[in-house]
Amino acid sequence: RGTSLCRRLGHGPEGKMADDDVLAPYKEKCLVLVTEKPSNELWLVAQRKIKTQLESKLDKNSYILVDGVEEANRPLRAAIWKLAGCKAGTYPVLLLFNEVIDYGQCEDFQFLLDSGEFDPKFKSLLKAQ
């Protein structure tokens, strides 16, 4: 789990969009799967932390918050959970260039902030100074 988990998804059954295709539009972005109705207080805290840090550090066009509850986001949500290797219904899930950074309570994300590794890892998406 976390920063060491970066793997490519396989293609789905014929007639269905492959996970790679669903995620392809986001390969140059930071993508965060969130829910407006978290069932877990720790996920709510993690979502707020991620949103706050992204808003303060990244260019507003470089990251996307995806509401996992919206029916239109169902294929994207499923592809994100599959890539992360986490249980369906897990929030938040943070991807950078379609690499899993963290999910759930987001301890790895907090480590990136505490260790000073956030800025170098997200360098190309940072706000202009």
Q: Is the pTM of this model over 0.85?
A: no
Q: What is the pLDDT of residue 37?
A: 84
Q: What is the pLDDT of residue 47?
A: 94
Q: What is the pLDDT of residue 109?
A: 94
pLDDT digits (tens, 9 = 90+) for 37-87: 888 899 899 999 999 999 999 999 999 999 999 999 999 999 999 999 999
Q: What is the pLDDT of residue 18?
A: 64
Mean pLDDT over each residue of the chain, to the nearest integer: 85
CB-CB contact of 69 with 76 (8 Å)? no
CB burial of 89-128 (b: ≥16 within 10 Å; e: otherwise) equals ebbbbbbbbbebbbbbbbebbbebeeeeebeeebeebeee
